[in-house]
Amino acid sequence: MQCLGKSFTLFVIFLLGDLSFTHGGHVLVLPGEYSHWSNMRNIVDELLNRNHRVTVLVNSASPTINFTQQERFQYLVFDVPLKAHEVHGLSEQLLDIWLQYPAPSKVQIGLQIIDLLGKVREMHRTMCDCMLRNETLISRLTALKFDVLLYDPMNMCSDLLAEILDLPVVLSLRISLGFSMERMCGQMPSPPSYVPVPPTEMTDHMSFMERVKNMIVYVVYSFAFRMASMTLDNYYSEVLDITIFMPA
């Protein structure tokens, strides 16, 4: 009898547990572009299979996402004063710089990349402004009562949106150069003698010279990442100061 009582209790716990698991959440997704979206797409499909609702917030100039297509989830589009071919043009430009390698000197390539990164940052800032400083859009997102934000950190200021909407976040990141984001934001343990960083294409069995090379790549990308983040600091402060005074 006692045994039956225990089973009954277990049965009730099982039922309650099951109930809590079948309750789906509402997930806001800020997608990355190109292969980044292919990766996230699998996560989105799996979320839908598990009864969660998904809304994908996409800018009107996305070169990857065809938001007029019918999907199992909802698209929410915000307008940006850019065209998809302009955004795509920047990726083509990166490819061009890559393909001419090693014809021009490394210094020239470095200067071209710095110039391009400046344009990319400018583009991201425009997109951020259109997303974060549009109170109609923010109110609409707030009203949709999301449970979590899933985003790709290659897109600037997705974390600012999470802050404004007061949402917990889940990140989907394919890889960052020098593992900078993973190490400096995600606290990924990565001793340079054992963890080769992209784009070195080495394995975890490195010779002494390979370790030296790995170390140099670590340092260069860490420095570049710090410099890039410094230029963003002001923007983040600016946006957060504004949002502090926004009505909740």
Ligand X SMILES: *[C@@H]1O[C@H](CO)[C@@H](O)[C@H](O)[C@H]1NC(C)=O
Interface residues with ligand X (CB under 6 A)?
A: 66, 68-69, 78-79, 130, 134, 136-137
CB of 143 to ligand X, least distance (A): 12
CB of 127 to ligand X, least distance (A): 11
Rounded to whole angstroms, the Cα distance separating 232 from 237 reads: 9
Which C-beta is closer to ligand X: that of 43 or that of 137?
A: 137
Which C-beta is closer to ligand X: that of 117 or that of 123?
A: 123
CB of 138 to ligand X, least distance (A): 9
Q: Which residues contact 247 (CB under 8 A, 6 or more apart)?
A: none
Query: Within 10 A of 227 (CB to CB), how many other CB atoms are there?
Result: 11
Pairing assessment for the beta strands 26-30 and 169-171 based on DSSP bridges: unpaired
Cis peptide bond upstream of 247, omega within 30: no
Which C-beta is closer to ligand X: that of 99 or that of 143?
A: 143
Structure tokens at 221: 């990308």
Residue type, 2: Q
CB of 94 to ligand X, least distance (A): 22
CB of 81 to ligand X, least distance (A): 9
Count each helix (H run) and each strand (E run) in the chain, helices first.
Answer: 8, 5
Which C-beta is closer to ligand X: that of 109 or that of 138?
A: 138
Which C-beta is closer to ligand X: that of 155 or that of 214?
A: 155
